[in-house]
């Protein structure tokens, strides 16, 4: 195989991509998703954590309280962002429906040291983003009340948990785990999947448009042609993934070890691209190849996710800088598997090539 | 042949052909992959998902405490003496010294602290669950009741929270009617045994159970929880379900797209076009099997999930929409890679349009612009009214019908087998709709037909921008809405100018602009009957549908916009098209903002 020929083919495919302006769609897609996720973030953060946006200094949620007196009232006193209103239950529920209060609790007159449990009824607005916030806040209050009741009834207990003392946390949901543990690996993986779909298109198109004979009449061998296409698709992976990391940076999401993450993305991308190439060489028809590849992709993805220290997990660890040197051998392993696949693709392509020229 | 019988012939032929190309070699491998999928799913369920392993470092001085975090793979624990830990405290996200928790003052540290708090709650509950006296360990039970409440856009208008910011002091008084409620009973209606079982269950609960619980409606037990079980009620449960519905539809529409594309590869469709069958029959016949398959898949999922069959109703326009777009993409793409990119792009847009509003189901009126919200409501057992059905599906029906019409009109040899770039092919498709004899009537109709698409694009921007703080969201919405309208109005003119450069004279431009302005207004008026009153009456609505108040002003504006873009085309040719659009959009935005200021001040 001549490197020059592979380079020529890769150049041809990349030029084709840019002249067809398909790459514009890829860029548009990235910008759209980035815009969308950042808007979603801004919106959700504003809803979850009002203080996240300037202009709201402090916000307090009103809670309607109905029923008997209890230690729960003191627990509510401790929270400065919840304001308790003693109300009649019917009034309180009507106010909740109009969102004049954010939650309603009803407390029965069960004494704290009774045999039976205390049954508090909590009314929230159904399926509401705001309810999620209130839920978290009210949960803290109720847990404090539970702790108190447990102390009252401690004489009836047999074992006690190890106690931990937590500092005051700021409250409010934060999206750190969602962004670093899910969004970043998925966004980095996306270009690899797109490139794998692309290689299938490039190979099956040569078959279906019957342009193979023309290509084979040049000095380029079939295997060189396949590798040229693979190279073109592989170049796109780190470029697009890098663009993602830059976009995330513009959105104020700092990612550590970007270079190592891109290496992992390139290795994983190469594996997927070669898998796509194998499927495409076997079927030579886009519909079947894409169908089989998509199914295979789901299988591979599920399998990889279930293995500890998988590349996606390593990307997460790298992004939050807790990876350690363990990711290098795994990168080598993925690259090795990709090399094996590459060998299989070459062998297959040579066999096909002999058939074409014969 | 009658139309119906030729449609049937084409449909049968399409089925046979796709089965034979796909069948022989694909099915065995697909079956093998399915078996693998089941095995891998079982493996994944057993081993768990290892996506977020080792995100946090935690330093602990006591092995007893280390056992608490051991089951959570997100933590990498380090055991060391207290002094050594304190020395290297900056290497950890959390340090626990003698039962005191210290967290790093970073986003990561705070996230780690939250995770640790949840783990600790789980551990305390686990210890308590072993108690012989259940009500000493769990003295407090919460009966969770949900109350329905919808808000309109007015709530977010003044930059106000969607919740209820409370003033201290006097309790709020509801303005509406108050229904008398009987206070709930204080006795626990469920036996102690049931509660124990419930506690044992929750320890081992699988993430998926939350989603299946949505369908089965949950037992009575579901509403009694201990305080630590009060997890935040994410409004995304039903949405996961919806995803299960949409994914197969998206997949099947890909097959239709490919089938259309394959007719064009190597002029394979020539034989089909030479038959006496009309293009309408060909397109409908080819689409029919895929439509049927999608309906069957959706029905099967509905049966399997035990959801009501009425959820198929809102899915029909969504299916049509996917098919219509698949047809157009299959007819316009020059190559497979273009097909891939365009279809990925389209499905991302469509999916966000369908999904994002459903997040706000039961919360915000915006949710009703997506038919999937009706599916969510239906699964919850709320159902939907005929009016709501019209609101959320009319745009999908309208755009699908128009796209199918465009596809059928252009299903001809010179269109199918040309190799022009995407943009100019689309312009060809549009100019096919402009008659030579009545160009102005055609422009009028074309402008009217673009309205559903304009509304859809504007709804998408509304969905994007509505939850951003107030002044910014209005400006963004105004500018993007103006640009979308100007673009839609200019395409007819642009297509004619491309096709017949001589057509664009000052007189014709003026006439055309008037025709387009009238067509646009007529379309807007017709469609506004079917759109959501709550949206049109809100401040956002006045941005999008200013034409409600006065008639001649928006008409003049529409005409002026076309004149600006057309003027640029006339004076500097087609290269000036974009700059003309920008100028027209700026003028349009300024007009809208001026009006809004008037409305606001």
Contacting residues of B for A119, CB less than 8 Å apart = 141, 143, 184-188
pLDDT digit string (tens) for A306-350? 898 999 999 999 999 888 888 999 999 999 999 999 999 999 988
What is the percentage of chain B residues whose pLDDT exceeds 90?
9
Q: Do B51 and A156 touch (CB under 8 A)?
A: no
Using a CB-CB distance cutoff of 8 angstroms, which residues of chain B are in contact with residue A184? Answer: none
Q: What is the pLDDT of residue B532?
A: 55
Whether chain A has a CB inside 8 Å of the CB on B223: the answer is no
Asked if residue B523 lies in contact with residue B447, where contact means CB atoms within 8 angstroms, the answer is yes
* SS (HEC) of chain A: CCHHHHHHHHHHHHHHHHHCCHHHHHHHHHHHHHHHHHHHHHHHHHHHCHHHCCCCCCCCEEEEEEECCCCHHHHHHHCCCEEEEECCHHHHHHHHHCCCCCEEEEECCCCCCCCCCEEEEEEEECCCHHHHHHHHHHHHHHHHHHHHHHHHCHHHCCCCCCCCECCCCCCCCCCHHHHHHHHHHHHHHHHHHHHHHHHHHHHHHHHHCCCHHHHHCCCCCHHHHHHHHHHHHHHHHHHHHHHHHHHHHHCCCCCCCHHHHHHHHHHHHHHHHHHHHHHHHHHCCHHHHHHHHHHHHHHHHHHHHCCCCCHHHHHHHHHCCCCCCCHHHHHHHHHHHHHHHHHHHHHHHHHHHHHHHC
Q: Is A11 on the interface with B (CB under 8 A)?
A: no
Residue of A nearest to B186 (CA): A108
Average pLDDT in the A71-94 region? 84
Residues of B in contact with A110 (CB under 8 A): 186
Rounded distance between C-alpha atoms, residue B442 and residue B499, angstroms? 14
* More confident: A148 or B428: A148
Q: Say what the pLDDT of residue B599 is.
A: 54
What is the β-pairing status of strands B56-60 and A103-107? Answer: unpaired
Pick from A32, A141, A150: nearest CA to A83: A141
Say yes or no for a CB contact (<8 Å) between B345 and A59. no
Contact at CB, A122 and B145, closer than 8 angstroms? yes
Inter-chain contact B349–A32, Cβ cutoff 8 Å? Answer: yes
Summary mean pLDDT of chain B: 78
In this prediction, residue B308 carries a pLDDT of 85
Average pLDDT value for residue range B191-219: 51
Q: Is the pLDDT of residue B215 over 60?
A: no
| Whether the predicted pLDDT of B276 surpasses 90 | no
Confidence category of residue B205, pLDDT binned at 50, 70, 90: very low
pLDDT at B237: 54
DSSP E strands: which ranges in B299-437? none
Tell me how close the Cα of A188 comes to any Cα of chain B, in angstroms.
14
Decide if A33 touches B, using CB distance below 8 A: yes
pLDDT at B164: 45
Q: Is A166 within 8 Å of B117 when comparing Cβ atoms? A: yes
Distance CA A193, CA A268 (A): 10
Averaged pLDDT, B46-63: 87
Q: Is the pLDDT assigned to residue A57 strictly greater than 50? A: no
pLDDT digits (tens, 9 = 90+) for B351-366: 888 877 776 666 566 6
- A65 interfaces chain B, CB cutoff of 8 Å: no
DSSP B171: P
The DSSP symbol for B204 reads T
More confident position, B73 or B204: B73
**C-beta of residue B334 within 8 angstroms of C-beta of residue B440:** no
Residue written as tokens 């083919």? A9
pLDDT value, residue B284: 93
Q: Higher model confidence: residue B171 or residue B27?
A: B27
The gap between the terminal CA atoms of chain B, to the nearest Å, is 66
- A358 — contact with chain B (CB < 8 Å)? no
What is the least distance, in Å, from the CA of A316 to any CA of chain B?
7
Radius of gyration from C-alpha coordinates of chain B: 30
* B467 contacts A46? CB cut-off 8 A: yes
Closest in B51, B56, B261 to A182, CB measured: B51
Q: What is the pLDDT of residue B220?
A: 42
Of chain A residues 222-281, which have a CB less than 8 A from chain B?
none
For residues B446-460, give the mean pLDDT.
84
Which residue of chain A has the CA closest to B420?
A: A20
Query: B103 and A123: CB-CB below 8 Å?
Result: no
State whether B161 and A202 contact (CB < 8 Å). no
DSSP one-letter code for B163: S
Q: A62 vs B345: CB contact, 8 Å cut-off?
A: no
DSSP assignment, residue B148?
-
Identify which of A119, A139, A150 has the shortest CB distance to residue B143.
Answer: A119
What is d(CA B30, CA B37) in angstroms, rounded to the nearest whole number?
10
Q: What's the angle, vertex CA A208, arms to CA A204 and CA A213, rounded to 5?
A: 95
Mean pLDDT confidence for A144-158: 84
According to DSSP, the β-strands at A118-125 and A103-107 are antiparallel
How near does any CA of chain A get to the CA of B505, in Å? 32
Confidence of residue B58 (pLDDT cuts 50, 70, 90): very high
A145 with B140: Cβ contact below 8 A: yes
Kindly state the average pLDDT of the residues B203-230: 49
Among A85, A158, A169, select the one facing B110 at the smallest CB separation.
Answer: A169
Res. B502: pLDDT tops 80:
no
φ/ψ region of A213 (left if φ > 0, alpha if ψ in -120 to 50, else beta) reads alpha
Q: What is the pLDDT of residues A182-195, one digit of tens each?
A: 788 888 888 899 89
- Mean pLDDT of all residues in B408-413: 84
Q: What is the pLDDT of residue A46?
A: 54
Nearest to B478 by CA among B579, B568, B566, B597: B597
A35-39, A277-281, B193-197, B592-596, range with the lowest pLDDT: A35-39
Higher pLDDT: B321 or B197? It is: B321
Across A194-198, A338-342, B575-579, the highest mean pLDDT is recorded for A338-342
A128 vs B235: CB contact, 8 Å cut-off? yes
B-chain residues near A124 (CB < 8 A):
144-147, 233
Whole-number pLDDT of residue B470: 61
The band of A216, judged by pLDDT with boundaries at 50, 70 and 90, is confident
User: What is the arithmetic mean of pLDDT over B255-272?
Assistant: 84
Q: Is B247 on the interface with A (CB under 8 A)?
A: no
Tell me whether residues B55 and A39 touch, CB distance under 8 A: no
Contact call for B338 and A91, based on CB within 8 A = no
Nearest to B341 among A25, A94, A127 (CB): A25
Is the CB of residue A194 less than 8 Å away from at least one CB of chain B? yes
Best mean pLDDT range from A66-80, B27-41, B216-230: B27-41
For range B112-141, the mean pLDDT: 81
A260-315 per-position pLDDT tens digit: 999 999 999 999 999 999 999 988 888 889 889 988 998 999 899 889 899 999 99
Going by C-beta distance under 8 Å and a sequence separation of 6 or more, which residues neighbour residue A328? none
| Inter-chain residue contact A21 with B421, CB threshold 8 Å | yes
Size of interface A-B (CB pairs under 8 A): 436
Residue A31 at interface with chain B, using a CB cutoff of 8 Å: no
SS3 of residue B550 by DSSP: coil
User: What pLDDT shows up at residue A99?
Assistant: 76
B208 pLDDT tier (thresholds 50, 70, 90): very low
Inspect the interface and report whether the beta carbons of A28 and B51 lie closer than 8 Å: no
The percentage of chain A sitting over the pLDDT mark of 70, rounded to a whole number, equals 87
B22 and A125 within 8 Å at the Cβ level: the answer is no
Q: What is the pLDDT of residue A50?
A: 44
Lowest mean pLDDT among A135-139, A193-197, B147-151, B458-462: B147-151
Residues of B in contact with A95 (CB under 8 A): 171-174
B293/A contact by beta carbon, under 8 A: no
Contacts of B164 in chain A (CB under 8 A): 61-62, 99-102
Q: What pLDDT does residue B204 have?
A: 42
Does residue B276 sit at the A interface (CB-CB below 8 Å)?
no
> What is the three-class DSSP state of B455?
helix
Task: Please name the member of B55, B65, B185 whose beta carbon is closest to the beta carbon of A162.
Answer: B65
Tell if the CB–CB gap between B147 and A125 is shorter than 8 Å: yes
CB contact under 8 A, B33 and A169: no
d(CA A113, CA A123): 25
pLDDT of amino acid A53: 40
What does the pLDDT look like over B482-494, one tens digit per residue? 899 889 888 888 8
A288 CB neighbours in chain B (<8 A) are 21-22, 25-26
| Chain A, window 92-151: residues with a beta carbon less than 8 angstroms from a chain B beta carbon | 93-102, 104, 106, 108-110, 112, 115-136, 138-139, 142-143, 145-146, 149-150
Question: Mean pLDDT throughout B31-43?
Answer: 89
């Amino acid at each position: 195989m001549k490197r020059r020929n592979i380079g020529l083919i890769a150049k041809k495919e990349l030029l084709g991509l840019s002249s067809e302006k398909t790459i514009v769609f890829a860029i548009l897609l990235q910008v759209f998703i980035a815009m969308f996720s950042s808007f979603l973030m801004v919106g959700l953060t504003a809803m979850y954590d009002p203080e996240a946006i300037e202009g709201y200094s402090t916000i307090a949620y009103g809670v309607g309280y109905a029923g008997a007196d209890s230690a729960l009232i003191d627990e509510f006193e401790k929270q400065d962002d919840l304001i308790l209103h003693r109300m009649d239950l019917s009034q309180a529920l009507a106010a909740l429906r109009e969102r004049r209060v954010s939650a309603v609790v009803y407390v029965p007159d069960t004494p704290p040291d009774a045999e039976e449990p205390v049954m508090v009824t909590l009314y929230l607005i159904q399926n509401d983003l705001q309810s999620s916030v209130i839920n978290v806040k009210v949960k803290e209050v109720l847990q404090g009340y539970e702790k108190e009741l447990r102390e009252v009834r401690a004489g009836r207990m047999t074992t006690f948990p190890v106690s931990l003392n937590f500092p005051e946390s700021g409250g409010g949901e934060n999206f750190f785990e969602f962004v670093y543990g899910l969004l970043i690996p998925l966004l980095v993986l996306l270009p690899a999947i797109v490139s794998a779909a692309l290689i299938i298109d490039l190979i099956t198109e040569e078959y279906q448009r019957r342009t193979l004979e023309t290509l084979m009449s040049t000095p380029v061998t079939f295997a060189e042609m396949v590798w040229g296409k693979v190279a073109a698709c592989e170049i796109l992976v780190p470029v697009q993934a890098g663009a993602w990391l830059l976009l995330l940076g513009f959105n104020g999401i700092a990612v550590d070890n970007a270079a190592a993450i891109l290496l992992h993305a390139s290795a994983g991308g190469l594996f997927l691209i070669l898998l796509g190439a194998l499927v495409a060489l076997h079927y030579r028809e886009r519909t079947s190849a894409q169908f089989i590849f998509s199914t295979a992709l789901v299988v591979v993805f599920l399998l990889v996710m279930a293995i500890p220290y998988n590349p996606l997990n390593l990307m997460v660890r790298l992004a939050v800088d807790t990876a350690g040197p363990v990711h290098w051998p795994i990168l080598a392993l993925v690259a090795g598997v990709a090399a094996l696949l590459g060998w299989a693709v070459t062998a297959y392509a040579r066999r096909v090539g002999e058939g074409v020229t014969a | 042949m009658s139309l119906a019988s030729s449609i049937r012939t084409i449909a049968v032929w399409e089925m046979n052909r796709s089965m034979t190309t796909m069948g022989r070699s694909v099915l065995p491998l697909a079956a093998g992959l399915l078996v693998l999928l089941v095995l891998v799913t079982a493996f994944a369920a057993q081993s768990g998902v290892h996506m977020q392993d080792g995100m946090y470092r935690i330093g602990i001085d006591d092995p007893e405490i280390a056992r608490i975090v051991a089951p959570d793979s997100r933590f990498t624990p380090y055991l060391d003496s207290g002094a050594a830990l304190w020395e290297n405290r900056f290497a950890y996200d959390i340090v626990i010294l003698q039962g005191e928790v210290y967290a790093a003052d970073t986003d990561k540290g705070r996230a780690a602290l939250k995770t640790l708090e949840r783990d600790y709650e789980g551990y305390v509950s686990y210890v308590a669950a072993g108690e012989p006296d259940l009500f000493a360990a769990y003295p407090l039970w919460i009966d969770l009741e949900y109350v329905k409440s919808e808000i309109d856009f007015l709530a977010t208008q003044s930059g106000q929270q969607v919740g209820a910011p409370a003033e201290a002091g006097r309790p709020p008084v509801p303005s509406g009617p108050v229904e008398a409620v009987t206070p709930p009973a204080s006795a626990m209606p469920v036996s102690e045994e049931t509660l124990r079982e419930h506690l044992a269950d929750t320890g081992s609960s699988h993430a998926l159970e939350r989603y299946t619980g949505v369908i089965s409606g949950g037992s009575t037990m579901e509403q009694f929880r201990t305080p630590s079980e009060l997890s935040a009620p994410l409004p995304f449960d039903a949405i996961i379900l919806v995803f299960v519905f949409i994914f197969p539809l998206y997949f099947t529409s890909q097959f239709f797209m490919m089938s259309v594309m394959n007719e064009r590869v190597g002029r394979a469709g020539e034989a089909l076009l030479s038959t006496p069958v009309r293009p309408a029959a060909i397109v409908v016949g080819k689409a029919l099997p895929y439509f049927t398959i999608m309906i069957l898949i959706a029905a099967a999922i509905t049966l399997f999930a035990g959801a009501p069959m009425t959820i198929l109703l809102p899915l029909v326009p969504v299916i049509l929409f996917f098919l219509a777009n698949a047809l157009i993409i299959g007819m316009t793409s020059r190559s497979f890679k273009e097909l891939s990119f365009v279809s990925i792009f389209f499905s991302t847009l469509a999916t966000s349009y369908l999904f994002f509003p459903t997040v706000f189901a039961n919360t915000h009126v915006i949710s009703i612009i997506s038919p999937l919200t009706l599916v969510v409501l239906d699964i919850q057992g709320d159902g939907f009214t005929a009016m709501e059905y019209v609101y959320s599906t009319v745009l999908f029906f309208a755009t699908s019908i128009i796209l199918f019409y465009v596809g059928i009109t252009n299903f001809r040899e010179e269109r199918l087998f040309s190799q022009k770039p995407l943009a100019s092919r689309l312009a060809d498709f549009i100019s096919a709709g402009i008659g030579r004899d009545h160009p102005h009537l055609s422009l009028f109709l074309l402008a009217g037909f673009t309205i559903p698409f304009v509304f859809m694009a504007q709804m998408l921007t509304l969905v994007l921008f509505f939850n951003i703080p107030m002044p910014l969201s209005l400006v963004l919405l105004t500018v993007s809405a103006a640009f979308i309208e100007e673009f839609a109005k200019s395409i007819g003119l642009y297509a004619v100018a491309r096709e017949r450069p001589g057509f664009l004279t000052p007189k014709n431009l003026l006439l055309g602009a008037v025709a387009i302005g009238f067509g646009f207004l007529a379309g807007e008026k017709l469609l506004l009957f079917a759109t959501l009153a709550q949206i049109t009456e809100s401040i956002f609505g006045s941005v999008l549908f200013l034409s409600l108040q006065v008639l001649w002003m928006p008409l003049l504006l529409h005409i002026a916009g076309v004149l600006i873009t057309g003027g640029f085309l006339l004076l500097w040719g087609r290269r000036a098209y974009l700059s003309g659009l920008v100028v027209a959009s700026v003028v349009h935005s300024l007009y809208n903002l001026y009006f809004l200021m008037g409305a606001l001040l």
